[in-house]
Chain A
């Protein structure tokens, strides 16, 4: 199970910013990356 101090697992996911290019963690090497999960679109919080 993933733990603070481990290497973050790489991912490649579609996003709304650029539909032709997926967002890939390993493309962001050298930067700090904030990943903010949230439950559902179209909800209040």
Chain B
């Protein structure tokens, strides 16, 4: 039973459109976490206490995407090493994701990618991040960092032609983790600004 005290801690709810500084939109999507059964979903709540990188891309079996997905996978140990997890997301089905994950890299596949690829069929989550291209029902190249409390901390969106940078993602993530003020072009190891 709830009572309206007005002094109780209010739980912040996620806004309809994702915004940096606000709780990230909740999700529960089919994924390739269990590539054999495809029965294991990924949920935002699974990542409480960790930094989460959501890596949206337009379509399975296309050209820029595999280089990005593979680069993030190649450097997953570095990301995991600082407490971050990655989920790839597109509007394709998990069956398509699985087929792509089972296609060798030299045949334009992403075999060996080590983090789960989730399926945002219908584009609900992509729309909440304002990256759904409606006519095509595909997501733009959006990358979002959610902190261990579930707050969206970083958002970058590229047009379809331009791949994202793992280096920049690591730099921003490490900057966020300092919890302090990072000057322009701050790089890991440098001090925070003092007020």
A4 to B184, CA, bound (A): 24
Contact status B17-A1, CB under 8 Å: yes
A4 touching B181 in the complex, CB below 8 Å, given contacts A44-B193, A44-B195, A45-B193: no
Check if A15 is an interface residue, CB within 8 A of chain B: no
Check if A7 is an interface residue, CB within 8 A of chain B: no
Contact status B159-A5, CB under 8 Å: yes
Fill in one digit per residue for A1-41: 1 if any B CB lies within 8 Å of its CB, else 0: 10111000000000000000000000000000000000000
Check if B133 is an interface residue, CB within 8 A of chain A: yes
A4 to B140, CA, bound (A): 8
Check if B158 is an interface residue, CB within 8 A of chain A: yes
A5 to B130, CA, bound (A): 12
- Kindly report which residue of chain A lies nearest to residue B195, judged by CB atoms: A44
- Number of interchain pairs (Cβ within 8 Å): 24
Contact status B195-A3, CB under 8 Å: no
Besides A3-B133, A4-B159, A44-B193, 17 other CB < 8 A contacts? Answer: A1-B17, A1-B130, A3-B131, A3-B140, A3-B157, A4-B131, A4-B140, A4-B158, A5-B133, A5-B140, A5-B159, A5-B160, A44-B181, A44-B195, A45-B181, A45-B183, A45-B184
- Give the size range of B's interface with the partner: 10 to 19
Residues on A with beta carbons closer than 8 Å to the beta carbon of B183:
45
Fill in one digit per residue for B14-30: 1 if any A CB lies within 8 Å of its CB, else 0: 00010000000000000
Most B CB contacts (10 A, CB to CB) among A4, A5, A45 go to A4
How many whole Å from B140's CB to the nearest CB in chain A?
Answer: 5
Check if B182 is an interface residue, CB within 8 A of chain A: yes
Residues on B with beta carbons closer than 8 Å to the beta carbon of A4:
131, 140, 157-159
Residues on A with beta carbons closer than 8 Å to the beta carbon of B158:
4
Fill in one digit per residue for B135-151: 1 if any A CB lies within 8 Å of its CB, else 0: 00000100000000000
How many whole Å from A11's CB to the nearest CB in chain B?
Answer: 20
24 A–B contacts, CB within 8 A, in A order = A1-B17, A1-B130, A3-B130, A3-B131, A3-B133, A3-B140, A3-B157, A4-B131, A4-B140, A4-B157, A4-B158, A4-B159, A5-B133, A5-B140, A5-B159, A5-B160, A44-B181, A44-B193, A44-B195, A45-B181, A45-B182, A45-B183, A45-B184, A45-B193
